[in-house]
Structure 1
Amino acid sequence: MKNKFEMRMLEELNFFLGLEVKQLPKGIFIGQSKYISDMFKKFNFPEMKMSPTPMSINISLHADLDGQPFDQTLYRSLIGSLMYLTTSRPDIMFSVYLCARFQANPRYSHYKAVMRIFSYLKGTPNLELWYPFGTGFNLTAFTDADHGDDQVNRKSTSGGLQFLGRKLVSWSSRKQNCISFSTAESKYIAAASCCSQVL
């Protein structure tokens, strides 16, 4: 490449756009622990308890129109920071995008759900994606969907993961575009979306 382009060789890649890259003989780790640390400093969070999960299984977020309003600017800033973190943290994707649905009119109940995600990150700042060498290129995909979980418009949520060998290369969690009338239909929609991603 040096013969064709004017360039200079720097040291081995270890940091790129907030992503930390650790290259080892057996594979590569990609994470964002420094970004998480910077987020906690940016929002000046006090000491908080660590949570074992990003969201409680008993929570049911909805518009909460009677709830106490929360600062829209701060809420959007929190959500935006978390959305960028999903670049290397598929474990928080569903929770973050569920909370992101309420950016137009956030309530204190939504803020509490966001803070649960931050308390989870407090205890898991060093979780990283692992890309081992020599695990083949067999394409494997997983997908699932709930049925009518959205409290506002009864739409379902699809989730999916795609692996090349043992390397996670794509993941998603999003609300479906249409309303399904059964669990089977919502799962067919999720499967179709996953197949499109695979193709």
Structure 2
Amino acid sequence: MADYSLFTKVRGNSFTAVLLYVDDMIITGNDEVAIHDLKQFLQSHFRIKDLGHLKYFLGVEVARSSQGIAISQRKYTLDIIDEAGLLGAKPAKFPMEENLRLSPTEGQLLHNASQYRRLVGKLIYLTITRPEISYSVHILSQFMQQPRKPHLDAVHRLLRYLKGSPGQGLLFPSNGSLTLKGYCDADWARCPLTRRSVTGYCIFLGGALVSWKTKKQSTVSRSSAEAEYRAMASATCELTWMKYLLADLQIDHKGPAKLHCDNQAALHIAANPVFHERTKHIEIDCHVVRERLRSGVISTTYVPTGQQLADIFTKPLGQSAFRSLLGKMGVLDIHTPP
């Protein structure tokens, strides 16, 4: 029920799952006989090709070892860099300059806007395995209508960062607890034109990063606490859905999912059942977070700003801060020797 592309079958201790995308599918489970019977059944009704153990799916490369499963998009990344003609360029240490402010009106218009749109469109798909570029791609995708030279320069800067580690991706460890925890953050009035804030959150299952998002908020927040609280509401909805998804996969998540926030005022609003003058205009978001708190779906906790992992999804960071947060998110490059 949590994902209409996911089909599950439970018979006693036997569990089989099928993840479907158009005519591509992944079959997994804990019962080899049930998996074989399912393949035979599908073969009797459709022409299918069994490609064996999962190695490549929709441009995502999958590698497994005793440590766990790693996913990346190395070939896809190199193809994008090659298309831009930057295979020989000098790699960058981080994806976007810390104080970069792009404008829709400054700079020379591009004669061939289709190249910019094609590159950014491909970069959007690359965020499947490269969470650290989510904020940069979020910014660059806002200038698709009339891209200018500074925007293309920022895309090339991002591609030079990717060139430094094209095989970087995510590791899902084989050992660890199956407990959910999330980090949420917001950058108040980040957009210079609309003054809307940017929401960022990331969700971990044990030590594995499984969900993340960068999104401009739909309304203007009157304070940083309000912006942080709206981010908390978005992360709460994602954690709730993740618990539903785990239930579909026959995983019983015991206890509430922890949600980490670095804004004390937002945490106070979540815990305080009394509405007052400063929070009445965000009443709907209040109901979402408080309802989940009362029902035990989530629990909130304070985290210092320096340890707020979602910071990487709300603003461009300098090299030291970027590398520090990236090292805590479970990313690795299996193509680079340790």
TM-score range, shorter chain: over 0.9
Shift of 1:8: 5.3
**Matched residue, 1:79:** 120
The SS at the match of 2:168 is coil
CA distance 1:2–1:17, change in 2 (3 Å): closer
The SS at the match of 1:159 is strand
Residue type of the alignment partner of 2:131:
P
TM-score, normalised to structure 1's length? 0.95
The SS at the match of 2:210 is strand
Residue type of the alignment partner of 2:196:
K
Shift of 1:137: 1.0
**Matched residue, 1:69:** 109
**Matched residue, 1:60:** 101
Which of these two proteins has the greater Rg computed from alpha carbons?
2
1:2 to 24, 28, 39: 39
**Matched residue, 1:187:** 228
Identity, % of aligned pairs? 37
Shift of 1:26: 2.2
1:46-195 matches, cutoff 5 A:
47-63=88-104, 65-70=105-110, 71-195=112-236
Aligned residue pairs total 198
TM-score, normalised to structure 2's length? 0.57
**Contact 1:54–1:92 under 8 Å retained in 2:** yes
- 4+ residue runs of structure 1 moved beyond 4 angstroms? none
- Normalized per residue, which structure has more helix? 2
RMSD: 1.3
Residue type of the alignment partner of 2:119:
L
1:27-46 matches, cutoff 5 A:
27-45=68-86
State whether structure 2 residue 11 is matched by structure 1 residue 11: no
The SS at the match of 1:187 is helix
**Contact 2:182–2:204 under 8 Å retained in 1:** yes
Q: Deviation digits for residues 87-135 of structure 1, max 9, x if unmatched?
A: 1000100001111111111111111111110010011212110001121
Shift of 1:15: 0.8
In structure 2, the gaps of 5 or more residues are: 1-37, 241-338
CA distance 1:9–1:78, change in 2 (3 Å): closer
Structure 1 distance, partners of 2:211, 2:156, is 26
Q: Deviation digits for residues 24-58 of structure 1, max 9, x if unmatched?
A: 12210000111111112223336212111000111
